[in-house]
Amino acid sequence: MHELSVAQALVDQVEDLARQHGATGVHLIRVRIGPLAGVVAELLGTAFPLAAAGGRAEFARLEWVEAPIRVRCRTCGAETEAQANKLVCGACGDWQTEVVSGDELILETVELDIPERIEG
């Protein structure tokens, strides 16, 4: 299960951000995962608390957005929805397409708890 490795990488990244911004904690982590990224969101959700234990992201909520698979046809130019194992054009059926959405594995936003600085 490589989702644990991905979760550890995610926690490292979030903790770096928290440190850079002087945050004491992390409320929310939002990631965007496409079916073609090879990471199962639910398994990432299971692995996340293990990776986050004891760190600044320990009590963070992990939310994910599943990106739909969409392809653009190089032949007819149509942009259509597709399946992970059938990335052919939904309009003309040609296989020479490019994926425009569905292979993302992105940390989109984090909500940090940043204490207000007391002046003087």
Partner 1 sequence: MCDTCGCNVTPGNVKFAYKPVEPGATTISVLQGLLKKNDDQADHNRAHFDARGILTVNLMSSPGSGKTALLEATIKALKSEFRIAVIEGDLETENDAERIRAQGVPAHQIVTGTACHLDAHMVHDALHQMDLSGIDLLFVENVGNLVCPASFDLGQHANVALLSTTEGDDKPAKYPVMFRGADAVVISKTDLLAVLDDFSPDKAERHIRELANPAPVLRLSARKGEGMEAWFAWLRGQLASQRARVAAGQTQRPTIQPEGALMHGARATEAA
Residue ranges binding partner 1 (CB under 8 A)? 1-2, 5-6, 9-10, 12-13, 17, 21, 23, 27-28, 30-32, 34, 36-39, 65, 71, 84-88, 95-101, 103-114
Dihedral sign for Cα atoms in the order 43, 60, 58, 106: positive
Phi-psi region of 57 (alpha: psi -120 to 50; beta: other; left: phi over 0): alpha
Written as six digits, the tokens of 101 are 């959405």
Shortest distance, position 119 Cβ to partner 1, whole Å = 18
| DSSP-derived 3-state class of residue 13 | helix
The values of phi and psi at residue 110, to 5°, are: -130, 145
Shortest distance, position 52 Cβ to partner 1, whole Å = 14
The amino acid occupying position 79 is E
Ordered alpha helix ranges (H), the chain: 3-20, 41-52
Shortest distance, position 19 Cβ to partner 1, whole Å = 12
**Comparison of 10 and 52: residue with beta carbon closer to partner 1:** 10
Shortest distance, position 64 Cβ to partner 1, whole Å = 10
**Comparison of 50 and 106: residue with beta carbon closer to partner 1:** 106
The amino acid occupying position 30 is R
